[in-house]
Structure 1
Amino acid sequence: MLAILAFTMVATFMTLIMTKRLSALVALILVPTLFAVGMGYTAGLGDMMLEGVRDLAPTGVMLIFGILYFGLMIDAGLFDPLIKLIVRLAHGDAMRITIGTVVLALLVSLDGDGTTTYMITTAALLPLYRHMKMDVRIMACLIIMSSAVMNLLPWGGPTARAATALQLDPRDVFVGLIPAMVVTAIWVLIVAWMFGVRERKRLAALSQQLTEEEMSGEAVVAHDAGDVKARRPQLMWLNLLLTGALMVCLITGVLPLAILFMLGFAIALMINYPSLQQQRERISAHAGNALAVAGLVFAAGIFTGILSGTKMIDAMADWIIACVPPTLGPYMAPITALLSMPFTFLISNDAFYFGMLPILAKTGAEYGISAMDMAQASLVGQQIHLLSPLVPSTYLLATMAGIEFGEHQRFTLKWALGSCIVFLPACLVLGIFPLCASAPAGPS
């Protein structure tokens, strides 16, 4: 019964936000609260909520100061040369812009952190998409699909979790997946090509004519990049050095992400805008975005806190595992891959990889399926995971792109599912993990 209620709660939440009946912020708070009260968990409800908020507090702080930091860099003009270069290379062609979006997002995603990827790519591409009157949902879709491919890097998170849960080397798990990642990246480029064809036709129908000034990129920067008085072109190299140092520290893990962004923001603010009045103006200019994203993160903490505190996550996992009949035991690798799609979307990565995967792997071992095969199969769902309402950085992408979270999900979901459908057969065809255990031992 608890599992049924859990699935019902998640389905209710998704329906409300995707049909625009409630905003994501309101739904994240009210839906789990009403379900928990209805299930009789009133006594410990506050503790559950606070625990969830506490767990996501570092992420919330990191996003607040990350938004403020990159907002300052945009104001100071750090990304203006990149925007101009992209515009010149695109030459007003929607096809080049969409394919360039994927290439840029794949490269920036090498740091393994979705938050910085979304900030940098959106800062560089959003002015161009708006100027060309292209659909910004396409930009958000392509960025998140590219990031999902690169999210499997050993330092990206999911691969490390899967490897840790099954006591494997993250590098070995990742290396085996590289061919399937390449195939999936090609799929993302094909999606970009399809979007480019569609946008070409739409823009041609609108008879958009670009002038020489617009083609040069100057108009894009001047029109969309903010307050000209805030520009600091003389400090561009210093800002670039500071941002590069921040990226190196993020990758090497010198300090927690939240602390690094706080320090980076303080230094950038002091260097670029030394007067108190200027500092207040820059903080005010980006406070709205920071507050919107942080509010969603803390609201997501309430959702996850109730899911965990009421043991709904455990009930969902146990119910699914119990539904797998023994006759399907030799097929546990592809079954795990299929289960990873909805479950890394509905519950957190920690809950899936540390809660469900060890049980699935133990079952697979009884049929001769190795822990490495199970770990790699469990990562198939990451192609759709970033669209989960439990992933804080996705709210950041939607907010920066200026689209509703539910709208972003509706637009991107089918293409992300396409990535899963490409990734899974690629793994099977390339022999990354088997369709069926070659010599099933049967349950002991």
Structure 2
Amino acid sequence: MLTFLALAMILTFIILLSKKKLSVFTALTLVPLFYGLIAVTLNGGTVIELFDWITQGIFFKQNLETGKVSWGVISPGITILFSILYFDLMLNVGLFDPIAEFFIKKAKGDPLKVTLSTVMVASVVALNGDTTTTIIICLAAFLNLYKQLKLKLSYLAIIIVGPIGIWNQLPWGGPTIACSTAMGVELNELFAALLPGLLVAQVVVIVVAGYLGMKERKRLGYKAGDDGEVSEESIQQMLSAIREKDPELKRPKLYAFNLILTLGAIFILIKGYVHGSVVFMLASAIALVINYRSVKECNERLEALASDVLPTALATLGAGVFSGVLSGSGMAASLANTIANIIPTSLGSHMAPIYALIAAPAICFLPQDAFYFGIASVIKDVMGQFGITPIQAAVASMAGQSFRLISPVIPALYLLCGETEQNFVGFQKEYTKYFWVVLVTYMIVFGITGAIPY
């Protein structure tokens, strides 16, 4: 019965999100509440017992035999809140602007330089973890240039989203947050395991962008040294896409300070010296006071960024209800045991790479939270029965991010397709044609580092 309830709860959650009948926060909260009430009724328990499961999912639970305390979602939830706040502040003050401007100036009229500049600008802007912002800025900076040079707009689209799929996996990115919360692993530990794969994937994406630039050189008959440079006026128009985005918020004179503060925060986070929530809480407070001196300006920034910060933080806390009911009721263990009994013993030790390959299409076509909270959180327990650690299971889940940025459930991609004059299916095919290599890269690198056991 518990297995049936678990499946029903997960499917209801996925369907309601996919059909957009509930928001992420309300689905994570109300669906498990409904099925939790059924579970305690069937078990002859009380509503107080259900509230205990939810409390443990949000805050912590203690093993009475070993005394070990397992944190709920409150730990990553606070980290998420302040990390998003911090990097939104850094985007506002213009921390990433000089690097983006440098690559735009280098592009000139050479198709190879243009594609390489595109991928580098997209990589820099994507560090803030926001897909929509990255797409808007890169389109504003490069769309007219591609049209002027008669470069393929389909290449512009896939070059923009290639780095986004990689750098969305930073500790303040939505996928990493969802995976960390659903799988019950610390953000900094998950990121440390992902980092080697992300760095190599970035190199691969640059190589692919270079290959596309060489193809365009050949198609257009361009030769290095030709007098085909873009006018200074056109370059200034591209730079304005960076410079004119909220100019009143930028703080160029404080660039060195903001850079040092950011590098220091990231270093401390990766090293694990201090909990991520403390790192970004303090860094956010320092960044606010130094960059926006008056109380009025600080309050205005906090109010303006609340729309970015709150939805993800609320969804993370709502996930505590989902995970608390799923685990506390015994549904998760029952479902995991059922699945484990079906899997042949000979395949059990190879579950991680098999699951990583399956995760790619799954995370492409399912809402992100539906995948991580509805599927990955259960598969983690199944893999645990074959000796695969939660971190390894989490990394296997993240490998599917290589195809996340062609998902039909990401609204910003329709803007991208419209501006680059192509239909969505054509965009998916073009991306898959060139960037399948990112998934292969993850599988190889994570296999070498042991992040995905083979």
Same fold, TM-score > 0.5, yes or no: yes
- The runs of 5 or more residues in structure 2 that have no matched partner are 60-71, 144-152, 215-229, 363-370, 405-409, 416-424
Letter in 2 for 1:49: I
Instruction: Name the CA shift for 1:423/1:218 in 2 (closer, same or farther; >3 Å).
Output: closer
| Paired position in structure 2 for 1:272 | 291
Counterpart among 217, 234, 239 of residue 218 in structure 1: 239
1:304-359, CA deviations, whole angstroms, 9 ceiling, x for partnerless residues?
11211122221121011111245xx2x43334532465698456978755x44442
The correspondence of residues 237-276 of structure 1 with structure 2, limited to 5 A, is 237-276=256-295
Amino acid at match of 1:37: L
Q: Which residue does 1:127 correspond to in 2?
A: 137
Q: C-alpha deviations, 1:168-223, integer Å up to 9, x for none?
A: xx9xx989x98x989977876798799999xxxxxxxxxxxx98545344311233
Report matched runs for 1:187-226 at 5 Å. 212-213=232-233, 215-216=235-236, 217-223=238-244, 225-226=245-246
Match of 2:55 among 50, 61, 78: 50
Alpha-carbon offset, residue 280 of structure 1: 1.4
- What runs of 5+ residues in structure 1 fail to find an aligned partner? 109-116, 165-169, 198-209, 362-370, 389-397, 405-409, 437-444
Number of aligned residue pairs:
370
CA contact (8 A) 1:49 1:302 kept: yes
The change in CA–CA distance for 1:84 and 1:103 in structure 2 (over 3 A counts) is closer
In the other structure, the counterpart of 1:337 is 353
- The answer as to whether partners of 1:83 and 1:124 remain within 8 angstroms in 2 is no
Which of 231, 237, 252 matches 1:233? 252
Q: Are the structure 2 counterparts of residues 74 and 22 from structure 1 closer, same or farther at C-alpha, using a change threshold of 3 Å?
A: same
CA distance in 2, matches of 1:403, 1:383: 24
Q: Secondary structure at the match of 1:360?
A: coil
Q: Is the 8 A contact 1:36 1:45 kept in 2?
A: yes
Aligned to 2:386: 360
CA 1:257–1:99 in 2, change beyond 3 Å: closer, same or farther?
same
The amino acid across from 1:146 in the alignment is: I
**Backbone CA RMSD of aligned residues:** 5.4
Contact 1:32 1:303 in 2 (8 A): yes
C-alpha spacing 1:320/1:421, structure 2 compared with 1 (3 Å): farther
- Closer/same/farther in 2, CA of residues 238 and 27 from structure 1, 3 Å limit: same
Task: Tell me how far apart the structure 2 counterparts of residues 309 and 322 of structure 1 sit (CA, whole Å).
Answer: 21
Question: 1:440 maps to what in 2?
Answer: none
Q: CA deviation digits over 1:379-432, x for unaligned, max 9? A: 5443127999xxxxxxxxx89x7999xxxxx999x96x96797479869999x9
CA contact (8 A) 2:100 2:124 kept: no
2:272 is aligned with what amino acid? G
Partners of 1:98 and 1:193 within 8 A in 2: no
In structure 1, distance between residues paired with 2:168 and 2:256: 31
Q: Provide the secondary structure at the position in 2 that maps to 1:39.
A: helix
2:105 aligned counterpart, secondary structure:
helix
Is the contact made by 2:81 and 2:310 (CA closer than 8 Å) also made in structure 1? Answer: yes
SS at match of 1:40: helix
Is residue 86–residue 284 contact of structure 2 (8 Å, CA) maintained in 1? yes
Cα distance in 2, alignment partners of residues 288 and 174 from structure 1: 30
Say yes or no: does 1:27 pair with 2:27.
Answer: yes
Distance 1:90 1:218 in 2: 12
Post-superposition shift, 1:71? 2.4
| Structure 2 counterpart of 1:394 | none
- Do the aligned partners of residues 339 and 38 (structure 1) sit closer, same or farther apart at CA in structure 2, a change above 3 Å counting? same
The reply on whether 1:320 has 2:344 as its aligned counterpart is no
Report the 3-state secondary structure (helix = DSSP H, G, I; strand = E; otherwise coil) of the residue aligned with 2:73: helix
TM-score by length of 2: 0.62
After superposition, the Cα gap between the structure-2 partners of 1:377 and 1:40, relative to the gap in structure 1 and judged at 3 Å, is closer
Q: Structure 1 residues 67, 2: closer, same or farther in 2, change over 3 A? A: same
CA distance in 2: counterparts of 1:424 and 1:232, whole angstroms: 37
Query: How far 1:145 sits from its partner (Å)?
Result: 3.8
Please, which of 158, 166, 176 is the counterpart of residue 146 of structure 1?
166
Partner of 1:113: none
Aligned-pair distance for 1:16?
A: 2.1
Q: Does the 8 A contact of 1:62 with 1:259 survive in 2? A: yes
Corresponding residue number in structure 1 for 2:306:
287
Q: Give the superposition deviation at 1:267.
A: 1.3
The structure-2 alpha-carbon separation of the partners of 1:129 and 1:300, relative to structure 1 and needing over 3 Å to count, comes to farther
**Residue correspondence of structure 1 range 75-94 to structure 2 within 5 A:** 75-89=92-106
Q: Give the conservation status (yes or no) of the 8 Å contact 2:119–2:163.
A: no
